[in-house]
Every structure is written in structure tokens, then in C-alpha cells.
Amino acid sequence: MNTQVLNTLSVAPRAANRALGAYLQEIRCEALRTVRNPGLAIPVLLMPVALYALFTMVVTADAIDRDPSIGIFLFSAFSIMGATMPALFGIGATLAMEREMGLLRLKRAQPAPVAGWLVAKIVCGVGFGVLSYAPIALLALLSGKIALEPSQIFAMSLVLIACSIPFCAMGLMVGALVRGSAAPGYANLFYLPGCYLSGMFFPLPQSMHWQAPIWPQFHVGQLAMHAADVTKFQFMPAQMSIAALVGFTVLFSAIAVWRMVSKG
Amino acid sequence: MNNNSPDQRLHALDAVRGFALLLGVAFHAALSFMPGWPPGIWAMNDNSPSQFLSDAAFVTHIFRMSLFFFIAGYFGRLLYHKLGASAFWANRGQRIAVPLIAGWVVLFPLIGYIWITGITKVLGGVAPTMPEMPKTPGAFPLTHLWFLYQLLLTYVAVLAIRSIIARLDPAQKLRNLVDKLVSGSIRSLVAVFTLGIPLAGALMSLGFWFYWQGIPTPDQSLIPQIPASVGFGTAFVFGWLVHRSKESLSAIQQRWFQHLVLAVIATGWLLHTMHAQPMAQPGLTKTLFALVFGVALWGWVLGLTGAALRFLSNYSAARRYIADASYWIYLAHLPVVAGLQVWVGHWPLHWSMKYPFILIASFALLFLSYHYLVRPTFIGKLLNGRKHRVWGRKPDPAPPAAPSPLSPAPKTPSGGATVAQLRGVTKRFGSVTALANIDIEVRQGELLAVLGPNGAGKSTAISLWLGLAEPDAGEATLLGGSPQQLESRRGLGVMMQDVELPKELRVRELLALAASYYDDPLPVEETLRRAGVTNIADRLYGKLSGGQKRQAQFAVAICGQPRVLFLDEPTVGLDIQARAAMWESIRSLLASGCSIVLTTHYLEEAEALAHRVIVINKGRVIATGSVDEMRALVACRQISCETQLVAADVHSWPGVTEVRREQGRLHIATTDAEGVVRRLLAADATLARLEVRQAGLNEAFNELTREAA
């Protein structure tokens, strides 16, 4: 009798479509939050394309006409920025804020799917990367400031979008290490040195080449150049760069998991 | 500290075993891409070799079979003690020996055919000469099923040793010492550095050791091979000992990260060394390689097991399905994988396209074959011990396998079953004991008010029920299962203190999100109505007042039609009307059979709503009962009057516990109301507006917590 009572209390397993529904709701809410947070959305979505327009149309317009490889170089630099910044800043800032306001604690208590929030953050990080990168690609194609075939740009685009994943992991790490509004500052601390020291924005002097591979941006750039088959800017085999990015992703994720397990 | 129930631990270990087997499929799928392998070693030599896959295959090959044998040792002892010797052998015969023999008979011709086809293709259409078996005693092509043969041999050896030790050590002194050594060596990281030493000795003695192969696979002979027997035997025995020693699993769980870090460092060194010199030469490097190989192997085995215990202890229907399927998949995979490798071997594509294709196609075929040909048939019963329906509607997911020690459910005096319980629970944070051997139960349909001063342990108790923390000792249960299990938590609703919901979302969106977590949630409009928040449904959470935020959080808590609702200070910041409305919602939830755990500082709230009250102080339950019983616990009554008497004088009278003067009236708390009234009237002829009343929950609470302090 009592066992029967208990059986009615135990909870039945869940239909797969409801589980999928929970993931979709999680993604929808994460996307709405990003869109409704102009402090985050505007700089991250508009800055890369605005800077790309400024540099290619105004600052280096003549130089690109003389040497088309400069156009490819700049396109790669701002595309990397566009594809990776939303992942890092979006995830880092929201996760840090959520930890501060106890939201993750609530989600752990609720029957939310374990990976729901993480999947939502990664999907939105990658998705906003696409939104930020697409206008740069469009502008490059329309303005003719890039000497690549559309198919090369397409291959490059796929690689760039995939390469936002390590920056999702970096965002998780930043969000797990710091709390609240300090996160964007710390994210910059991780991100900006890599932009300059990886040789992404300007060619590095020979003496600094040794350190470029320690920055994830360098490997993203290398993979983009392999995908587009631009041999002039290939400095490292694609397999090494894939391995390095996988390594960075594992390292950042491990630090994030360790931190969140030990500190919550 | 780990306090997962044994069943939860088994979910994690099942997952690890399944992972080790599926990793084997990925390993074999990579073998056609090995750079520099001469034709004939594998079924195919792909035209796009990959150093990356070679390295990845080496890394997985370091530990995957040792991991399998480690888990096999753990489950081996569990099974042996559960079934006894004869039933154990019958079971192993059915699950291991029959698949070995039947599998070999079916698979060997298939594998042979695919190998010949593949090698012919590699050699440009010239059929290879049939390889001859080495003319040594016991030579036999066991194929990838060698691990079943090795496992059977290991069972025989370990049970023989066990019976000898049982005779030599009847008082279990030696074995108790070993138990301590096992858990201590894991915790101190000694195990990861020492367990590989016997294997290293066996590897160093090999005259011909190609580093990449790790432990040479014993698939060519029925005679036990020394390195494999030592390596996999150590793993099996250690798994067996971990099952013996109660503390070991929690030690493995605690040290997961350290073990994985050691594994990564050791593996990095192995890769580096192997790239410089792939074949072992006698000397220091070979010795070092063998020793570091042991560290990497045990780092991965203990690290992955620990990580699974840490993160995968919950029951998951998907993981359970994959774990069930993994045995069949590993047994059947080789012809499928090799066939696909042969098929795609000459396609003009990069390995990074072909390898994922082989992997995805193999898993798709193998999972489909499992789902339709194995799971619902006698093969599934043979391999996994039970048959399932194809779509597994009915008996399939049976979360905690063993009956919970809680069942049958204890009944309340009023007949309600227990829906949540803390039993003998102790929880410490550093040197502070937040809960000390506490017992609390919540019954179906009741509202239990948990009261106590700040820092008494109320929040800790709730966090155990919510699965946010695990007890250091004792057991927390929710709806018949562990609060750590998602299935149990699907029956709860929660409103926490100090939690802010995302300010960019509208109340309606927050409710839709929370409702998606539940199986049978209320429609959003109905939730809005019941929580009295229809008027703010389309406002952003960040724009709401403090009270409105609490109302929105209450709506989130009730949207899933919970069977147990945890409300932590729900009415803080609410105006009188909103509070009355929330009380009304709470009452209707109770009427519908929902159980509620309420913590509040407003004692009148507990007085108005609670069926039972429990008072906690300094981590202990100091009183429990109905509101009336609690009031009766305190013999004290309240007298108030207008009088000229001095408070300090009255305080010195016998039976007076507390006196205070407020707005011209004297309020006296006393255990002897009649005596004090007589004395008051005698002492002050002008005394007016005399009132005597029974103590309220407020006084009871003050009295109880003061006594306990």
C-alpha cells in the first residue's frame, strides 16, 4: 500500500520533445537577453564592421588597391574579431552576472536540463558571432576590397564560425573566475593582448614571432587562411592550429569547470 | 565528501564502462589513417593519413582497456558478493563466454573477408597471400574479442587468489589494512604513481616494443601474455579493491581533477618522446617511457572515473541507453568500421572528412542494429540481462535500481506519505557544523514551517533538499529519490531568497522558460492568474518593484504544478494585499495536495498557514509540532495592563520571565498567570484594562531559542 503511494509520488521519465522544448526556451531567452542588453549588443555587433569599414574604405583604401593581400589581411583580422567577440564578451559578462545574482543556484535547484544554460550560451555566442561577422563579409564582397573568390570567403566563414567555440570556452572561464560587472574588463584583459600580439592586426617583427602561437587568435587566423587557401599568410600547418584550438578549449573549459565546482 | 547512494555511483561507473567501449570504436575507426603503416597491419591504408589521428589513437589506447578492466573489477566483486560463486559463474558464462564464442564464430569470417578485400584494394588489385598464424603453441586469432577471453582468465585468477587470502586472513585484518591503503593511496596521489610500476616492469622486459602500441594486444594467442596480464590484471584487482574499500570511490571522486592534470602532463611527455623515437631502445628512455606510461594510464583511469562520479552520478535515460548499447556496439563494430574504412579508403578527400564520416556512419548503423535487433530480442537479454520493448514505453527507465531504504513510505498520523526527508543528516562547512544529525520529514499535503534565528541551519536544510549540497552524513530524499536526480526535482518548485531573475526578460517569458523544465506545467496564463501577476505579465523583470519581483518569483515556483514547494521568505517586501493574495494561493496549493516547506521571519505567517512547525537552532531541531502544540510547549502566558508599578519590581516576582513597558502599558510574560494577577491587583488598586492571553508562536519561538542558546 505504502509502496503504491510512493510510486504515485515518483516522477515519470520525460518525453524527448519536452526536453528539446526546454533547450529551445533556454536559447530563446538567452538570445532575448543579449538583444535587450544594448550595452553588450551594440559594441559587440557593430564595432567590428564599423572598424572594418573605416580601415578598408578610408585608412588603407589606397594601400589595398596597390597590394590586395593587405585587403585579405584586414578582412581576416576584423572577421576574427566579429566572430569571436560576441562569444567571449556575451558569455563572460552574462555568466559573471548570473553567478552574482544567484541565478545559477536557482537553475541547479530547478529541474532545468543540466547542460541547458551552457548550450544556450554557446548557441547564442556562435549565433551572435555570425550576426557580427555577416555584415563584414557582405561589405567585403560588395566593396571589392578583398581579392578572394566567394567560395574562398565561404570556406573561411565556416572556419571562423566554428572558431568561436574556443572563445565561448574563454568566456566561460572569465565568467567563472570573476563576478558581476568586472567581467567585461577582465575579458578585455584576456582578449586585447591576443589581438595585438598574435599579429592579427599588423604584421609582427621577426623577433616577436616566437610568441604568436600562444594566442588563440593566431590559430583562428591560420585556419582561416588555410580554409581560403591563401598561402601567403600560412605560417603553421592546419592540424597544429586545430590541435592548439582544441587544447585552448579544453584548458579554458577545465578552468571554468574547476572554478565553478569549487566556488559555485 | 561523497554521499551519493550506491545506485547513483553505479550510474557513473556504467557510464565510464560504456565510454571505454565506445572509445574503442573511435580508436579502431582511426587505424586506417595511421601514417607509415605497411599494408596488411590493418584492413585499409587510407590515402589521407593523419599524424593527428595517430596521436589521438595512441592517447586513447593508453587507458581505454585498463579503464574497462578497472570497472570490470569493481563490478566483478559487486556481482560476486551479490550472487555467490555458482550464480556468478553462470552469469559470467552467459554474459562473457557465450558472446565470446558466438561472436567469434559470426565475426571472424566477416572480418577475414573485409581484411582480404581491403588489402587487395591497397595492393592495387593483387590478392594478398593469406597470412599464416605463428607456429607457436596456443596461437589463435582472437580478434578484438580477446578482451572477453582475458576477462575470463582474470576472473579465474582473481577468485583463486581470493580464496587463498580468505583462508590466510580469516579475521580480515590484512584486508582491512589493504582497504585503508587503497583509499589512502588514491587520496594522497600515491596510487597514480605506483600502480603502473608492475606493468612498467613487464613492458621494459619486452625485446621489441613499438611505443605506440602501449600494452601489446594479446589477440594472437590463447596463452596469457605477460604485459597484458600484468597491466589489465592490476586494473581489475584495483577495481576489485576499490569496491571493497568504502572510502575509495569518494577519494577517486575528490581527486578527479588532479588525476586528469597528471594524465595530461604525462601523456604530453609520452607524445613528445615517441615522436623523437618511435621504437624502444634499451636504456633510460625506455625505462622512463614505461614508468610515465603507467602514470598516464592511471591518471586517465582514476581521473575519468572520478570525473564521472562527480558529474554523471545522476540517472539519465539517455546515458543509460548508451551504456546498455555500448557492449553490443563494441562486440559488433569491427566489421562495420573496417568495411567503411575499406569503402572510403581511396576517396579523394581529406581524412578530416572521412574519419568523422566513418565514425558517424558506424555509430548510426550500430545504434540502429542495437535498437531493433538487440534491445528487444534475446540478444539484448543475453548481453544486458533484460529485454526492452522497441520504443521502451513501459518498463524501460527504472532509475534507482535497488528499492530505496525509505520504502515503504512512513505515514503521518493523518495518513500523508513522506515526500521529502532528511534522515540523520550532518552538514559541515569547514569547522562550522551547520546541521548536526538532524531528522526532518515533510508529508504530503502539509505546510511545514521551518523557523529559527539567522544562521540556525534553515537554509542549509533547504539546500540539501534542493540538491544544491550533499550531506556529509545521513540521507536527503525528495519524492522517493535523491534530490541530485533531475527526475526527483521535476516534482519541486522553488522560490529562493537573494536570487535575481534576468532583468531583460518579461515575466511571461520567465514563466515560459521555467514551465519548459516540467512535464505537465500550468498554461502561462493560468500561472499568471494563480500568482496574481497578470497585470505585470508583459513588464520586464528589471523594471518591477521589490514586492512585484517576489510575486514573479512565486509564479515561477508554482508554474510546474509542483508536488513539493520550497518557499524561502516568500512575502518579504509585499504589501498587505499582495501578502494576503499569496497566502490565498498557498492555501489553494495545499488544498490540491501540494506539500510546502516555508521559511519565514514573519511568525504570524507560520501561525496562519502551517500545519506543523519545526524550530531549528545551532543545527539541531529543538522543537516540532503543530502550532497549538508549540504554543502549549511554552507554559508562559501574556498579561498586560495599565499600572503604576515599576517594571523592575514586577520582574523580581516569582514566575515572571519577562517584563516590558510600552506606551504606558506593562506587558508581563509569566508561567503563573493566576498568581501574578492576584499579586498585581493587590499591589495596585488603580490597575486598569487587564488582559491575559495564551502565548503566541512569537513567544514560543523566543522562549525556545533562548532556552537552547
Residues B522-541: tens digit of each pLDDT: 999 999 999 989 999 999 99
Residue B661 has pLDDT above 50, yes or no: yes
Question: For B463-521, what is each residue's pLDDT tens digit?
Answer: 999 988 888 888 899 998 888 888 888 899 999 988 999 999 999 999 999 999 998 89
Q: From the list B480, B499, B513, which residue is nearest A10 (CB)? A: B480
User: Which residues of chain A make contact with B512, given a CB cutoff of 8 A?
Assistant: 25
CB contact under 8 A, B517 and A109: no
**B405-418: average pLDDT:** 45
Confidence of residue B331 (pLDDT cuts 50, 70, 90): very high
Strands, sheet with B418-429, edge to edge from the N-terminal-most edge strand: B432-443, B418-429, B473-478
CA-nearest of B683, B638, B684, B680 to B660 is B638
C-alpha cell belonging to residue B364: 548510426
CB contact under 8 A, A9 and B468: no
Q: Who's near A195: CB < 8 A, 6+ residues apart?
A: A81, A201, A217
Chosen from A106, A117, A223, A242 to mutate, greatest number of chain B CBs within 10 A: A106
Number of H helices, E strands in chain B: 26, 13
Residue B403 pLDDT > 60, yes or no?
no
Distance (Å, rounded) from C-alpha B91 to C-alpha B79?
9
Cα B619 from Cα B426, distance rounded (Å): 9
Inter-chain CB proximity A29 and B505 less than 8 Å: yes
Which residue among B50, B468, B500 sits closest to A108, beta carbon to beta carbon?
B468
pLDDT at A58 over 80: no
The residue of chain A with its CA nearest to that of B412 is A2
More confident site: B607 or B268:
B268
User: Could A22 and B501 be called an inter-chain contact, meaning their C-beta atoms sit closer than 8 Å?
Assistant: no
- Residue A3 Cα to chain centre, angstroms: 51
Contacts of B464 in chain A (CB under 8 A): none
- Residue B135: burial class (beta carbons within 10 Å; 0-12, 13-18, 19+): exposed
DSSP per-residue codes, B675-702: HHHHHHHHH-TT-EEEEEEE--HHHHHH
**Would strands B432-443 and B418-429 be described as parallel, antiparallel, or unpaired?**
antiparallel
pLDDT band at B413; cut points 50, 70, 90: very low
Residues B90-125 as b/e (b if ≥16 CB within 10 A, e otherwise) read eebeebbeebbeebbeebeebbbebbebbbebbeee
Look at B479 and A108 and tell me if their CB atoms are within 8 Å: no
Question: Of A15-29, B80-94, B391-405, where does mean pLDDT reach its minimum?
Answer: B391-405
| Cell representation of residue B512 | 515560459
Q: Does A14 touch chain B (CB under 8 A)?
A: yes
Q: Give CA–CA dist B317/A11, Å, rounded.
A: 13
Residue B260's pLDDT band (cuts 50, 70, 90): very high
Contact A111 B411 (CB under 8 A): no
C-alpha distances (whole Å) from B648 to each of A209, B292, B703 are 85, 80, 20
Residue among A22, A24, A98 minimizing CB distance to B517: A22
pLDDT at residue B396 in the model:
37
pLDDT for B226 beyond 80: yes
* Confidence at residue B146, expressed as pLDDT on a 0 to 100 scale: 94
Query: Cβ of A106 and B499 within 8 Å?
Result: yes
The residue assigned the cell 592586426 is: A201
Give how far Cα B543 sits from Cα of A28, B154, B408, B500, B538, Å.
Answer: 20, 67, 49, 12, 11
Q: If you measure CA to CA, which chain B residue comes closest to A241?
A: B52
Q: Which residue of B has its CA nearest to A109?
A: B466
Cell 510546502 belongs to B596
Q: What is the pLDDT of residues A171-209, one digit of tens each?
A: 999 999 987 778 888 888 888 888 889 988 888 888 888
B568 has which bridge partners?
Answer: B599
Residue B132: the pLDDT is 61
Mean pLDDT, chain B, rounded, equals: 86
Q: Which residues of A touch B304 (CB under 8 A)?
A: none
More confident residue, B574 or B708: B574
User: Residue B372's Cα: distance from chain center in Å?
Assistant: 30
Distance between CA atoms of residues A222 and A240, nearest Å = 10
* pLDDT 10s digits, A145-158: 788 888 888 889 99
Position A102 pLDDT exceeds 70: yes
| Residue of chain B nearest A36, judged by CA positions | B504
Question: pLDDT tens-digit profile of B110-147?
Answer: 898 898 888 888 888 777 766 565 567 778 888 899 99
Q: Looking at per-residue confidence, does B207 or B193 come out higher?
A: B193
**Which ipTM did the prediction report?**
0.85
- Asked if B496 and A5 come within 8 Å (Cβ–Cβ), the reply is no
Question: With pLDDT > 70 as the criterion, what percentage of chain B qualifies?
Answer: 90
CA angle A91, A94, A100 (to 5 degrees): 135
Please check whether residue A32 touches B, CB under 8 A: yes
Asked if B516 lies within 8 A of A18 by C-beta distance, the reply is: yes
Residues in chain A closer than 8 A to B481 (CB atoms): 10-11
Look at residue A6 and tell me whether its pLDDT is greater than 70.
Answer: no
Cβ-contact B420, B614 below 8 angstroms: no
Query: Across the interface, do B491 and A3 touch by the CB < 8 Å criterion?
Result: no
Specify the pLDDT at position B705. Answer: 67
Confidence (pLDDT) at B706:
65
Query: Cell 528589471 appears where?
Result: B542
β-strands B492-495, B418-429 pairing: unpaired
Task: Note the pLDDT tens digit of each residue in B160-184.
Answer: 999 999 888 888 888 888 988 999 9
Judged by CB atoms closer than 8 Å, whether chains meet at B496 and A102 is answered as yes
CB contact under 8 A, A109 and B492: yes
Residue A218 has what pLDDT? 94
Separation between Cα atoms, residue B691 and residue B709, nearest integer Å: 30
B560 contacts on A by Cβ (under 8 Å): 111
**pTM summary value:** 0.55
